[in-house]
Every structure is written in structure tokens, then in C-alpha cells.
Amino acid sequence: MGRVLTLVALPVNGITRERRARLRKELEWQRPAAADPHLLGHPQINWAALEEVLDRLNARKKLITCQVVESGALGTRGLAELVRSSWNLSM
């Protein structure tokens, strides 16, 4: 089994630029990696802290969070490349 990664998608049409910047700043201490300007990833995110930040900024229903398993056995494309080619997050 590959590594488990938590993804947080920050769609352009879901939240304002200011709120996206605030979310990034609030989550900075967990050090998520930016796979894309609108997509953060983290291998061991603290879910309780993430939920608290989303609730405090009233953003829980405005973005997408999920956990994925990266498996080299199923393909050779990197996760960031796959996400960028599968979803248009800049809309």
C-alpha cells in the first residue's frame, strides 16, 4: 500500500482570495505542500485541527477535503500531476 495523503482543494469559485490566503496561513503550522495553487496536500494532517480551522473561517462547506492512497502499482504518474490533469481547480 502506498502513502496516505490528505488533500484540501481550494476552488476559486467557492471562497474569496482573501479566505483562501487565510486558510493557507492558518494551516501553515501543519506544513501542507502546495501541489497546485488551489490544492494542498499533507501525509499526516491533524483532522481535528483542520476541522477547527474550517469551522472558524466558515469554510467547511466551501472546499473539498479527502484522503487518497498513492499506489505505484496502479500507475507511474505523480499524484500532483494526476490531480491537475483530472480537475480544473482554477475555476
Q: Is the pTM of this model over 0.85?
A: no
Q: What structural domains does the chain harbor?
A: 4-86 (3.30.70.240)
pLDDT in tens, 14-61: 778 888 888 888 887 777 777 777 788 887 788 888 889 889 888 888
Q: How far apart are CA 86 and CA 54, in angstroms?
A: 25
Q: How far apart are CA 26 and CA 76, in angstroms?
A: 33
Q: pLDDT at residue 1 above 60?
A: no
